[in-house]
Amino acid sequence: MNVLDHQSLILLFGALMGVAIMAYVLLDGYDLGVGVLLSRSSGHERDEMVNAIAPFWDANETWLVLGAGILLVAFPLAHGIILRELYLPVLVMLVGLILRGTAFELRVKSPPERLEAWNTMFVVGSATAALAQGFMLGQFVTAFRNDFVAILFACLVAPCLVAGYMLLGAGWLLIKTEGELQRRAARWGRGALWLTAGGIGLVSLATPVVSPRIFDRWFSIDLVPLMVAVPVLVLTGVVWLSRWLRDFDPARDDGRAWVPLALTTALFVLSGAGLAYSTFPYLVIDRLTLWDAAASDETLRMILLGVVIVLPPIVLYSVFSYRIFKGKTTHLEES
């Protein structure tokens, strides 16, 4: 552990936190998206959709705990500021996750006459958690300003993130289901795609406006190729994904059903990398850096030991569960 100096430890924990947050967005994002899409289905389709995420959703939420835990113990000053600024949306998110988890567990034990109520709670919980996360993203991008424009911006970003999760969820359903539900998932994904793209555009335009430092970083003469390449890559991915979803045919394309999810993942990763590049080294834009917020060297080394012990089982369990439950969804019964 002593091979890393204090600066390297701070960078390592910053990177680990970023990876954990991105893993959460991608993994829990698709099952939140499936939860929202449940409102567009009916009957046995809903059971298929829930079964498609049943083996994974608990483990997916582990990444949120890991990311928040790293923020709390490795960057306590930033945790205090961020939690104070986002107290209400965090509370709303937790309420949504609780509703969703409760509905998920109880819907399979419910008598038929109450099943619809639990399905509705599952949809509401998923949408509430996703909207709260989108609002938090908007607040982060505007450096937690509380004026009308900043709040309006966060309110606009919120449904865009929900759409992004729906796009992830549709991609997951293409992989895990068959036939008519695949066709419907492709239509749902295409419907969510352009709002997702709008959200990427909103965040991309807002970050340089919020901070002159970010503006200078992106519009420096040395970075013109990067400034041109990133939007071109995003637009290319959006157009390609739109055409793929439009032309999807289960009989012909089932063997390549992973393509939409892979393209959506690439869009999220590219957008996340761009946001990280814009904000680094700040945890609170233009107010608090990684170095300012970090815990002491002794604390970071102790936490690193815990991460070395805890992280491999999390990764191995996730890989194991996805390997065991690979392939198409089958009907699951719980008692």
| pLDDT tens for each residue of 78-94 | 998 999 999 999 999 99
Which residue would you say has higher pLDDT here, 166 or 3? 166
Percent helix, percent strand, percent coil in the chain, to nearest 5: 85, 0, 15
Q: What is the 3-state secondary structure (H, E, C) of 24-58?
A: HHHHHHHHHHHHHHHHHCCCHHHHHHHHHHCCCHH
Alpha-carbon distance values, 314 to 88, 151, 318 (Å): 29, 36, 6
| pLDDT tens for each residue of 149-197 | 999 999 999 999 999 999 999 999 999 998 889 999 999 999 999 999 9
Q: For position 334, what pLDDT does the model report?
A: 43
| 271 DSSP 8-state letter | H
Which residue would you say has higher pLDDT here, 143 or 229? 143
Q: For position 310, what pLDDT does the model report?
A: 87
| pLDDT tens for each residue of 252-280 | 888 888 999 999 999 999 999 989 988 99
User: Measured between alpha carbons, how far is 318 from 226 in angstroms, rounded to an integer?
Assistant: 34
| 97 DSSP 8-state letter | H
| pLDDT tens for each residue of 95-136 | 999 999 898 888 877 777 788 888 999 999 999 999 999 999
pLDDT exceeds cutoff 70 at 332: no
Sequence ranges of the domains in the chain: 7-324
The CB density around residue 277, as the number of other CB atoms within 10 Å, is: 15
Q: For position 330, what pLDDT does the model report?
A: 60
Q: Are 50 and 42 in contact (CB under 8 A)?
A: no
Dihedral sign for Cα atoms in the order 244, 245, 247, 252: positive
Residues 6+ apart with CB under 8 A from 6: 294, 297, 300
What is the average pLDDT across 41-46? 81
Average pLDDT, the chain: 89
Which residue would you say has higher pLDDT here, 29 or 333? 29
Tokens coding 230:
């990133």
